Structure 1
């Protein structure tokens, strides 16, 4: 956005929202300034440059949130951190799934709940691409449940493991909406589609307290980690890594959510190493259509998660 465009946008926001429009415009100006500083930031490391057999992406997971719950899970006993290449899912995918790593992708199975694969992933480039979000989206909570991803990953590992060398599994949690602790109407599918992630922007606007948002966020992290525990008992892998595509900001540098700015709280993500042994303790459900309306577009899915078209 140019400065002239910002001025025009500010006028429109003030005309529509008064003082609230001024605050929104100032926030946009701050983000614009931070984006210009990205060229000076550490660009991060592509996950394909690391050794792993299974890579579990927890969408939007903060380092401190993972540390807070680590003692509750035996498989989180080898902590670390990683510098992500992106501050938002679309930026992470654009910079991760590149021609440079075509050989690695061709040997990798990718099971994902993130709708941005529609733009950044060609099925022909992967050993297997299972876009779980296409038929497992839950309209009641406005996101793909963790168990649908777990089921897809176990099916891939047990039924098609001879087709790939690596398995990449992308859960949508702890990204809001929080499945166990919804935050009122802010998590509904047809609301909070102004281009920001729901709960974090509710915090910025004073709708929620920091403790309310944090409690819901950590509850959502526990929710997905409980499913990760199921997954780790139902596939075989010598080296499993739990990480994230990006973090989330709750006011650091005046930023909330995960816009594409290269501040540390968005780029420094967890990196926990563990193993997995198939104890055959769970039988995954076969793929079942969620019953969602067929005319719901990818853009609608992304707007429900708080992403705008730009």
Structure 2
């Protein structure tokens, strides 16, 4: 069911309407609300999984690979959006051997609907861009704290960068909201947006570079999904920006899988979950996702 606001948006912007047809077609064809050809991240071999939000493989290869130790591979994601990533990887799983530190609110929003739980989930403070996002260093500090507190747990650290809002030098209105809106700002070109996106990635890479030595075990850096800048969807070739749902284009589902072998692996143990979810303001989580351009 569509809200009156969504219907009006489709009338005003035929691109959104055509893109919605693409989404419905893909989900009907696949029979699920994620990309069934993608990997299950929990079946992969890692002790620490660091997620960069909306990070393209090619941009990671250009910017992160020269700065980080380790070996770069690629994987196919189950998602072109964060909500699909959560649905595709967490549904019907009780992951009591896993601690999830995240600046992305989709797990908190969906966990009950998809029957998912982890040993501990911590939603990171929104301390950048007027409360829209979290600084990479804030997320890294939360990961450090969790690594010390839970030495025998698989650890997921979910950074928001390079997803907008953009925190680098190319500051145009913070780059908040849907990427289509950002590209239509006065005096902002597609090249400007790509530069800001790359700056945002560089910020999180710099922070993670200093974090890696503090993490025990095998660490993998990946992305929940990629990002597109004017590529056309399927089956209707409508031009889109950002990461529209159920658009499984190569640049949206081919993600980095950067492996750093640790000297010593963790001895992973599963035990009863913590009650940290009670501390989360779920109304604020929903508002934050809406502010970032997601449709609730």
TM-score by length of 2: 0.79
Computing the radius of gyration over CA atoms, which structure comes out larger, 1 or 2? 1
**Between structures 1 and 2, the one with greater strand share:** 2
Aligned to 1:107: 97
The answer to whether the Cα contact below 8 Å between 1:35 and 1:262 also exists between their aligned partners in 2 is no
Aligned to 2:211: 231
2:201 pairs, out of 218, 221, 230, with 221
Report the Cα distance in structure 1 between the residues aligned to 2:122 and 2:52, rounded to whole angstroms.
Answer: 17
Aligned to 2:270: none
Aligned to 2:241: 256
The answer to whether the Cα contact below 8 Å between 1:235 and 1:277 also exists between their aligned partners in 2 is no
Q: Taking structure 1 as reference, are residues 179 and 276 closer, same or farther at Cα in structure 2, changes over 3 Å only?
A: farther
Report the Cα distance in structure 1 between the residues aligned to 2:23 and 2:282, rounded to whole angstroms.
Answer: 37
Structure 1: 4+ residue segments shifted above 4 A: 204-207
1:187 pairs, out of 175, 179, 195, with 175
3-state SS of 1:255 partner: strand
**Please, which runs of 5 or more residues in structure 2 have no aligned partner?**
233-238, 265-280
Q: Taking structure 1 as reference, are residues 124 and 307 closer, same or farther at Cα in structure 2, changes over 3 Å only?
A: closer
2:44 pairs, out of 28, 31, 50, with 50
Query: Aligned ranges for residues 159-308 of structure 1 at < 5 Å?
Result: 159-162=149-152, 164=153, 166-185=154-173, 187=175, 192=177, 197-198=178-179, 200-203=180-183, 208-237=188-217, 239-253=218-232, 254-260=239-245, 261-276=247-262, 297-308=284-295
Q: Taking structure 1 as reference, are residues 28 and 180 closer, same or farther at Cα in structure 2, changes over 3 Å only?
A: same
3-state SS of 1:107 partner: strand
**Please, which runs of 5 or more residues in structure 1 have no aligned partner?**
15-20, 279-293
For the aligned residues, what is the CA RMSD? 3.0
TM-score by length of 1: 0.75
Q: How many residues align?
A: 265
**Between structures 1 and 2, the one with greater helix share:** 1
Asked whether 1:130 is paired with 2:117, we answer no
Q: Taking structure 1 as reference, are residues 28 and 124 closer, same or farther at Cα in structure 2, changes over 3 Å only?
A: closer
Q: Taking structure 1 as reference, are residues 217 and 26 closer, same or farther at Cα in structure 2, changes over 3 Å only?
A: closer
Q: For residue 267 of structure 1, report the CA deviation from its aligned partner.
A: 1.1
Aligned to 1:32: 21
3-state SS of 2:128 partner: coil
